[in-house]
Structure 1
Amino acid sequence: MAEGFGLYVRFALRSEEAAGAFDALVAETLAGIKAHEPGTLAYVVHTVPEEPAIRVFYELYADRAAFDSHEEQPHTKRFLAEREQYLSGVEVTFLTAEAGTGPVAA
């Protein structure tokens, strides 16, 4: 499936306290993703052991349309609106699969 669409997002949180509230918001959002987004193939949240106020997301969608659908979901819109209060920065990198194994292979 060469149309796989992915992204890597690095969130810098204001503090360790903000990280806890952000994590709770993420947990609520994940419930909506699992229940309503068949085109979301992977949505993985990582912590960084040496940086407790950093979260890294890896997101993989069946195609661009699945990502666009994700962005329009009520749980995603809530996450996007609420997350700002916890952040000191965010970096987004869009990805195109070139080779590999898994649910999407170029």
Structure 2
Amino acid sequence: MKRKAVRMGIWWRMQPLKRALLDATIMFLRRGGVVRAVRLINMIKEIVQELLTYILSRKVVFVAYLVGKELVRRFREYLGIVNDVKYIIHLGIQWLNTPLIYRGP
């Protein structure tokens, strides 16, 4: 994941302390160490989630999924309960392709 972030130029947007913590953790794990501290694991999870958000936010499918999820939440009474990921992505793509004039509030 670090390689992909460096390739995409996202690695340098992160805070230096977060990058250092991730680098130290990677080096520690490569040498055979095991991370057991719960607080450290939670901190690493937060950093990885932030990094994944930066990486995936450039993908259209991810953006369409987020928009579709919001549409399903907003129009739950009309759509009912929707658990199908493909349907959510299709809704998001349809909304993204709709001209601004025709989009509702």
Normalised by the size of structure 2, how large is the TM-score? Answer: 0.27
Larger gyration radius, structure 1 or structure 2: 2
More strand by share: 1
Higher helix fraction: Structure 1 or Structure 2? 2
TM-score by length of 1: 0.27
Tell which has more relative contact order, 1 or 2 (C-alpha 8 A, sep 6+).
1
